Chains A and B, each alone.
Chain A
Amino acid sequence: MAIKPRVPVREQPAEERIHNFNSVPYGYSEEEAIAEAQRCIQCPNPTCEAGCPVNIKIKDMIRLIKEGKFAESYLLTKQDNAFPACTGRVCPQEDQCEGVCILVKTGQPINIGKLEAFVADWGREHNVTEETVSASKEKKVAVVGSGPAGLACAAELRKFGYQVTMFETLHKPGGVLVYGIPNFRLPKEIVQHEIDYLEEIGVDIQLNMTVGQNISFDELRENYDAIFLGTGAGAPQFMGIEGEKLNGVYSANEFLIRANLMKSYLFPEWDTPISVGKKVGVVGAGNVAMDAARTALRLGADEVYIIYRRTMEFSPARNEEIEHAREEGIIFKELVNPVRFVGNDQGWVTGVELIKMELSEQDSSGRPRPVPVEGSEFIMELDTVIEALGTVPNRLFLSRAPGLKTDRKGVILADDNRMTSIEGVFGGGDATSGAATVIKALGEGKRAAESIRDYLEGK
């Protein structure tokens, strides 16, 4: 039987969307979702489920969509994944479920991501609610950080009946989902819906509270029966090259926090400014780099370059983001690496000196190692530079939590049950793995909640 091609995803045309921050894909309609679901051959041994970091029951999720049972499909998905509307949009599906879909050989795997987002949106829009909170228990748990790991852990703990207080540094909950990933990829009302739900079921969210700074880790240990650390890996890394002090050189984190959390794209209605020149260079080629580049374009840059030391086929970004970036006119400068930033006498960046790179043998990441071509340096003119070189755990918290074992980079060590080196203190998400993915953070948050339950019940 011939398999039909994927049902195309309707999207905002590139020339239109580069002027706004609205969602790029429109999402499947009911008919489109059913048609896409009908392409699934319902394998007896669904490889997609094994490819999913939290083993969502994808086969049944799709079958229920095919049968038009959207509410059932939604609730089924929610059993394994607290935020399907988010992960449907941001998971690297090609490396997970879709990458091992049996149809991948045809070049047209089932669009599992878009189906997941469809059922999740359908559930939200139709107010489908899930299981309720069990009888209230007295034990108290503190959740530190309100990113996906913290949110998933808090939701689960609350459902078990514990008293849950969540502490968040920023004035808005959501972690990277809110301050990092732009609205055109993950509309903020979707995240807000999940947070509203948490508050509805009784999670106490304490904003503007940095554990280790304005409330101490010891206070938490005294006042709570268990603690979950979902503090993420939010601190930017800089290249450490000449010229980083220049005005106009940003970390991607700063650029995206300004744009997303502080909504500088609505300046001056919103107060926080952001500086975007005509020619913008983004160093790096992961999801963060794509987000920064596409944000810069929407903020009015004429030319935006991705500056990458390998070739794009080795980029860790989601395929969809690379594709969208290309359609929007982002220019990929491959096989080059910054040597220094150059500036004018007012101290503003005016360009970057790049050195050409060649790919050599594979390195530990399984990708070819880029090596500089001696004497190949040249200057590229730029008036804004954004460094998207990856992030590491925030040393502020770590320096105030003595006794918590970490690796050299500050990644908190946790065992299989997600317990850290301190008894009763659990961890998950980027804080315990280094910068990773939303689905991994969600999965670990949930797993930690189960371990916390076992711990509190003395199992």
Chain B
Amino acid sequence: MSHKITRKMDLNSDDFYVEVEAPLVAERFRAGNFTILMTVPHGERIPMSIMKAEDGKISMFIKKLGKTSRELYKELDTFENVIGPMGKPIDIKNYGTVVVASDLVCGHAENYAICKALKEAGNKVISYQTFPTEKEIYPEEVLANDVCDEFHLTTEDGSKGEEGHYIDLLEERLENGEKVDIVFAGGSLPNLKELGEMTKEYNIPTIVTVRQIMVDASGMCGACRVFVDGEMQLACIDGPMFDAHKIDWGAALRRPKMYAEMEKVALEHCKELGRCE
């Protein structure tokens, strides 16, 4: 059951775009859902955010990190399995004024999907997409500028767009007394934690993607457990988006690093086979 990759392109030197045929996933995708990929038959089951689902295809932004992503980038034109949609979609309704923010590959994919869904639901949607510098900015065609009402492209060094991280820019906005009813955000986990600390002071509901290591992604293993308001939740079936103000961030930040050493081994092995760079 192999799935054909119909488009692959560089987003910047680290991240790339992949579009793949997955009619079942595409048909049922709703913002907030993710997919489980197996690139090869002996591959890992890895979660990926979905940027958009159209014409039986889904699009994703993928960072070249370890074995799976790098081999996919260099060698593959099919996926063994594209599974889903997984996880709970966000509650798509009219909240009023919504901020959608991101600063990393997965977050940018979700940014597009969530903006689109919430704009269609009648919200005033304000999107922030933060990149480190001008060099990392994605091509305009995949940014959320077309699917929101107000778009802020920001760079941390100010080399293009507005200067600063979305957390600071959003805080300025809130300080100025501008109305925001809810924030959705994804990307760097430590930054999501910080975002939550900030918005808590302003009492603004903040829903963020808590990326955790997953295996089955159907509630059967507990690998993805996160602790929300003292209760164990499973990111794969109860999430992956949770209330940033209630998450036990200590564990959530730590658990994704559990296999760091073995991931290095896997990447080295892949390089030896000449299938990764």
Which residues from chain A sit less than 8 Å from chain B, CB to CB?
169-171, 207-208, 210, 213-214, 234-236, 238, 240, 244-245, 247-248, 251, 253-254, 257-258, 261-263, 266-275, 346-347, 394-396
Contact = CB atoms under 8 A, between A and B. Distances in A.
A394 B218 contact: yes
A371 B225 CA distance: 30
B83 A208 contact: yes
Most buried by A among B68, B86, B266: B266
B104 interface: no
Contacts of A267: 262, 265-266
Contact of A235 (B1, B85, B219, B266): B219
Contact of A251 (B45, B221, B263): B221
A170 B265 CA distance: 26
Given A254-B215, A271-B44, A394 B67 contact: no
A357 B38 CA distance: 45
Interface string B14-48: 00000000001100100000000010101111000
B237 A347 contact: no
A236 B221 contact: yes
B227 A257 contact: no
B227 A245 contact: yes
Contact of A169 (B1, B216, B269): B216
B251 interface: yes
Contacts of B42: 263, 266, 269-271
Given A272-B44, A273-B262, A245 B67 contact: no
A171 B221 contact: no
B265 A253 contact: no
Contacts of B232: 238, 240, 244
Interface of B: 1, 24-25, 28, 38, 40, 42-45, 67-68, 80-81, 83-86, 215-216, 218-223, 225, 227, 232, 237, 248, 250-251, 254-255, 257-259, 262-263, 265-266, 269-270
Contact of A213 (B86, B222, B248): B86
Contacts, number: 116
B262 A347 contact: no
A245 B225 CA distance: 8
Given A214-B85, A262-B44, A273 B218 contact: no
Given A170-B218, A214-B85, A275-B258, 10 more contacts: A214-B25, A236-B222, A238-B222, A245-B251, A253-B222, A262-B44, A271-B68, A272-B45, A273-B266, A395-B219
B219 A347 contact: no
Given A238-B222, A267-B266, A170 B254 contact: no
Contacts of B25: 214
Given A263-B42, A273-B266, A235 B215 contact: no
13 contacts: A171-B45, A208-B81, A213-B218, A213-B237, A214-B28, A214-B86, A244-B225, A257-B216, A267-B262, A268-B265, A272-B45, A275-B259, A275-B262
A251 B225 CA distance: 11
Contacts of A251: 221-223
